[in-house]
Structure 1
Amino acid sequence: MSRSGASPSSSIDAVVIGRNEGARLLACLASLQGQVARIIYVDSGSRDGSVAAAQAAGAVVVELDMSQPFTAARARNAGLARVEADLVQFVDGDCEVQPGWIPAALAGLAAHPAAVVLCGRRRERHPEASLWNRLADREWDTPVGPARACGGDALMVVRALREVGGYCEDLIAGEEPELCLRLRRAGGEIWRLDAEMTLHDAAMTRFSQWWRRTQRAGHAFAEGAALHGASPERHWVAETRRAVLWGLGVPLLALLAGSFLHPLGWLILLAWPLQALRLALRWGDPAAALFAVLGKVPEALGVAGYWLNRLRGRRRGLIEYKG
């Protein structure tokens, strides 16, 4: 895939998506001022004055038709349709772009001619506020170098995006890895740079928020595997299997063995703490290890929910964790 026309001198438009982000949106838009040619804000039914605030900040505002089912992918495509530059910086409305990111991303494009997506380090703004925020911050600390996927914040080559048809609008989660899969198939490269990119405000202060966010990940694994699991990339097949094995397989096997074979069958549940201990020794982070194992339960529920809805011929609505 060629990125002809994309160079360090190319103009950049930014696409920001959001709903009821309030002060976070204002901070996001301010962080982009002077760094991009235009800011395109796609609003999905905000009732907090976000549209007026974005207009006052000089952004081009696109109000999404909320009579259709909302997905972040649909919002990003709506913004992409208004992009006039060679490059687009996608940003979630609860994030701030770090001052040095745009120059670092342009340098990355120059250093990697086949690159069509570049991302950097996304950090949680308040990791000390809760365990759940800290876990999110750790999750985003991905390896530097060639990558398989990016998250919601990334600099992308517009021509490459349009060649593959943009984001898959039906996906309620996991739309970025699915897009990156198609971009890589077309010959593009995804790069994770060693540079500070964005500050994110997850605002997760409750266990229930973490649970729903993790359940959403399981749904994304299942839907991604259903779309591309049979391909050579085996997209998210391993993640789906791990969720089902640890989140459903272990407790179900323990229930059957302990109830119908022998009481010692309940010892199968020891697989969970043993796995957590193994991961803790590898990562040096007991809390992250514990919740990586515990998280397989909501992930498995997300997988099961996806397949149950598919068998019923239904589509799942958004799984939101904020608010």
Structure 2
Amino acid sequence: MTLPDGFTVRLNRHTRVEDGGRVLIGGSPTRVARLKPAAITAFEGRELVVRDAATRALAEHLLATGIGDPVAGSLPPIPLSELTVVIPVHDRPAQLARLLASVPREVARVIVVDDASTRAEAVASVVAAHGAHLIPLDRNVGAAAARNAGLAAVETPFVAFVDSDVVLEDGCFEVLLRHFADPELAMAAPRVVGLDTERPNWITRYENARSSLDLGGQSASVRPRSPVTWVSSTCLVARVAHLGEGFDASMRVGEDVDLVWRLVDEGHRVRFEPAATVRHEHRTRLRTWLGRKFFYGTGAHLLAVRHPQDVAPVVLPPWGALVLALLFVQKRWSLPAIALTGVIVAGGIVKRLGHVRRPWPIASRLTINGMIAALGQGFALLLRHWWPVTVVLGVFSKTMRRAAAIAAVADVVWEFLRLKPKLDPVRFGVARRLDDVAYGGGVWWGALRGRSAKALLPAIIRTPKADTARAPRG
């Protein structure tokens, strides 16, 4: 199956066009693609419309590499009558009623799977009042297995899995369904933002700015070791034919990530589309908020068992790891050594950009971006994934204490300026560190219980030669 005529792809926001349109730089990992003359003229600005075999092959390349994204508004609509909504629920009848009221009436069917609620009668009453179909389970099996029970009753080509503590925004399903004009697309997910509350507290304000579920405002291809590595089962729309038996019923956490990665491994595409949104009711009490972060962290070990190549806390090229090591030792020669490393790396990139007229500015920019990315991952190691090690070594090492202090301050300043939360810097900084401690604690607890350090080990990878592969002829 191939992309249909009229399918439109737009160059990603982070993709740079150089040499008068002859060279595209973008994707993940970063690729430098040289376009043939016919391919250059096929673009209308930053958009490419599939019209023939050549533009179809180029569009496939842009999607596969992450250099381009589908333009949802230009894709043909799919009627909601081809969609079934599956909602797993355990109690929370009031939230369920709120969600059901937001589901479009045009969908084929709404299936509510009651995962052995203690308030089963209240849940059943809400389901009946909204004309939904109820599947009651006699024992609590978890959200993954509950979704699978609903999936087994789906008769439409598409299914939407929606958690009971969200509200659908108008047009959410319609936007996501348009993406399935791509025959290789298995799943699409919306942006998850906070549900407005009358009295937001500091936790709510922090979550509204930096929720674990909010993946940002840029459309993206979803796959391991990319800027968007997963999407949450808070809300997902999927092609039933690609799901098989669905989620791994043995997993109580991380089952959404596992399913996404299995679909990608099978050669399918998964997309994140922020033009579609749902609103999630964030936790507002400190204990339950931290408990949920800790719970998320425990899923890292389960994923490491199933996907050992994809679950590393950080992914760095060898030179990126060297830069972090040079920064950490904090010697007078550290900065000159980092500068020399940057020159060597940029020189290597220049050699691979022999077809570009002005390679050094491009190579310098790519090197600087790589250093910034490495620095951010270094902060994450010290403050989030390896914070227990940071604390223990900090007791004995002044160097470690200084590195952790600099990382903590720099991280908060960067995130505060980037996100502009409706929260003062001090409370934002406290929330940021509590978030890291809770999640990192969960990662370590899962690793200790599973007797495996796989989820804690960084991945050092070399840039593949394919990063400079040329785009298909056009």
> Could you tell me how far apart the structure 1 residues matched to 2:107 and 2:413 are?
46
Name the counterpart of 1:299: 439
Pair 77,265 (structure 1): closer, same or farther in 2 beyond 3 Å: closer
Aligned with 1:206 (options 275, 278, 285): 285
- Does residue 1:90 correspond to 2:231, yes or no? no
Residues 1:209 and 1:50: Cα distance change in structure 2 (over 3 Å): same
Question: Structure 2: which amino acid aligns with 1:53?
Answer: V
How far does the alpha carbon of each residue in 1:176-197 deviate from its partner, in whole angstroms, 9 at most, with x for none? 1111001111111111224233
Equivalence for 2:78: 8
- Contact 2:87 2:164 survives alignment (8 Å): yes
Q: Could you say what secondary structure the match of 1:129 adopts?
A: coil
**AA aligned opposite 2:412:** A
SS of 1:295's equivalent in the other structure is: helix
The offset of 1:7, in angstroms, is 7.9
Could you say what secondary structure the match of 1:136 adopts? helix
Structure 1 residue 100 corresponds to structure 2 residue 171: yes
Decide whether the 8 Å contact of 1:121 with 1:194 is kept in 2.
Answer: yes
Cα distance in 1 for partners of 2:183, 2:207 equals 31
Structure 2 counterpart of 1:280, from 416, 419, 432: 416
Equivalent in the alignment of 1:144: 219
CA drift of 1:284 comes to: 4.4
Deviation at 1:248, TM superposition (A): 1.0
Query: Which is higher, the Rg of structure 1 or of structure 2?
Result: 2
**What is the identity, as a one-letter code, of the residue corresponding to 1:280?**
F
Q: Match for residue 219 of structure 1?
A: 298
Residue 131 of structure 1 corresponds to 202
Q: Which residue of 2 aligns with 1:38?
A: 109
Q: Which residue of 2 aligns with 1:52?
A: 125
Give 2:292's aligned amino acid.
Answer: R
Contact 1:11/1:86 (8 A) holds in 2: yes
Change (3 A) 1:29 1:248: same
Q: Give the distance between the partners of 1:209 and 1:183, measured in 2 at CA.
A: 32
- Give unmatched runs, 5+ long, in structure 1: 259-263, 313-323
Q: Distance between the aligned counterparts of 1:244 and 1:141, measured in 2?
A: 19
Measured in 1, the distance between the counterparts of 2:400 and 2:104 equals 61
Residues 126, 133 of structure 1: 8 Å contact kept: no
Question: Where do residues 260-271 of structure 1 align in structure 2 (5 Å cutoff)?
Answer: 267=402, 269-271=404-406
- Out of 180, 202, 224, the position equivalent to 1:109 is 180
**d(CA) in 2 for partners of 1:266 and 1:11?**
57
Deviations 1:197-237 (A, max 9, x none): 322222x22222221111112112232223212x3xx2354
Give the Å deviation of 1:157: 0.5
> 1:136 & 1:113 partners in 2: Cα distance?
35
Percent of aligned pairs with the same amino acid: 24
In the superposition, relative to structure 1, how do residues 93 and 279 fare at CA in structure 2: closer, same or farther (>3 Å)? closer
Q: Distance in 1 between matches of 2:394 and 2:311?
A: 30
Separation in 2, partners of 1:41, 1:215: 28
**Change in CA separation of 1:30 and 1:302 when aligned onto 2, cut-off 3 Å:** same
Change (3 A) 1:268 1:119: closer
Report the number of matched residues: 295
CA deviations on 1:248-267 (whole Å, 9 max, x unpaired) are 12111112447xxxxx9755
Deviations along 1:257-316, one digit per CA (max 9) or x if unpaired, are 47xxxxx9755652433433344345445455553333221122212221232249xxxx
Relative to structure 1, the CA distance from residue 188 to residue 76 in structure 2 (aligned partners, 3 Å threshold; closer, same or farther) is: same
SS at match of 1:93: coil
Pairing partner for 1:168 from 242, 248, 272: 248
Question: Match of 2:154, SS?
Answer: coil
1:44–1:75 CA contact under 8 A, matched in 2: yes
Give the root-mean-square deviation of aligned CA atoms: 2.9
* Alignment partner, residue 244 of structure 1: 385
Asked whether the equivalents of residues 86 and 159 of structure 2 are also in contact (C-alpha less than 8 Å), the reply is: yes
- In the alignment, structure 2 segments of 5+ residues that lack a partner are 4-75, 224-229, 315-376, 453-474
| Change beyond 3 A, Cα 1:159–1:265 | closer
Q: 2:258 aligns with which of 178, 194, 204?
A: 178
> Retained in 2: the 8 A contact 1:7–1:109?
no
CA distance in 2, matches of 1:200, 1:22: 16
1:288 to 1:180, Cα distance in 2 relative to 1, 3 A: farther
Per-residue CA distance 1:122-159 (angstroms, 9 max, x = gap) = 22112661232333333314231322322120111001
